[in-house]
Amino acid sequence: MSDFAARLAATVSILEKIATEFSPAVFASSLAAEDMVLTDLILRHKLNIGIFSLETGRLHKETLSMLDRIKETYDYEVELYKPETDAVNSYVQQHGLNAFYDSVEMRKECCRIRKVEPLNRALSGNKAWITGQRRAQSATRAELAVQEDDVAHAMQKFNPLTDWSEDDVWHYIRSNNVPYNALHDKGYPSIGCEPCTRAIQPGEDVRAGRWWWENPESKECGLHVVDGKLVRIKSI
């Protein structure tokens, strides 16, 4: 068995374990390449894992179009969680629409309102959640474990693609005709909100286009942070 085949088999095994031993479980999809791999695996194997996405109100049109493509390809509707309107309006009125450019604190507050709070609602009532994070994506994820004890949400957190390379992701997508975000063909290996994401140059880190005006060490939105610190728990 090739290395990739072994990684794929291990990933499917992890997802099957989650579906049977940690139900109810949900997958938080950003609708980017890694998450489309997991979407395909979950739906292809008919696993009892719900799929949701955070509609921040500032996503690229190409990202939003993935919702229709998933529906067309898999006959599945991704559940959407949106930020509280009052919280968004208050932030914009007090600080301005694009205040996240002003400081890391303002950027993280925007992420908290548009992503972290909706995530908390999406995870409520579940025993586990799944992400498409990989170790190779950035310095902040170098010690990523397959399974983590998510104390903040009182549940288990799984990162089934931990050991996958960028080549692994695209090999799976192309081999299985998995739909993917058109921005990936325009130099966007990592995709977030439109004003916070740019295309990268050859040789740059895959997440260099995310919050490009900040230092690499601060480039997390808060979805994987506890009390202001990026928390990693070794495999359980």
By annotation, the residues acting in catalysis are 221
Strands (E), 17-73: 25-28, 50-54
Interhelix angle for 3-21 vs 33-44, to 10°? 60
As annotated, the binding site for [4Fe-4S] cluster includes 110-111, 193, 196
Classify the C-alpha dihedral 26-140-208-117 as positive or negative: positive
Strands (E), the chain: 25-28, 50-54, 79-81, 128-130, 147-150, 155-158, 225-226, 229-230
Q: Is 197 exposed, middle or buried (0-12, 13-18, 19+ CB in 10 A)?
A: buried
Hey, what are 50's tokens?
A: 């719900």
As annotated, the binding site includes 110-111, 193, 196
Q: What CA–CA distance (Å, rounded) separates 99 from 121?
A: 25
For residue 52, the SS3 value is strand
Q: What CA–CA distance (Å, rounded) separates 113 from 124?
A: 17
Which amino acid appears at position 224 of this protein? H
Q: What is the dihedral of CA 160, 161, 162, 166, to 10 degrees?
A: 180
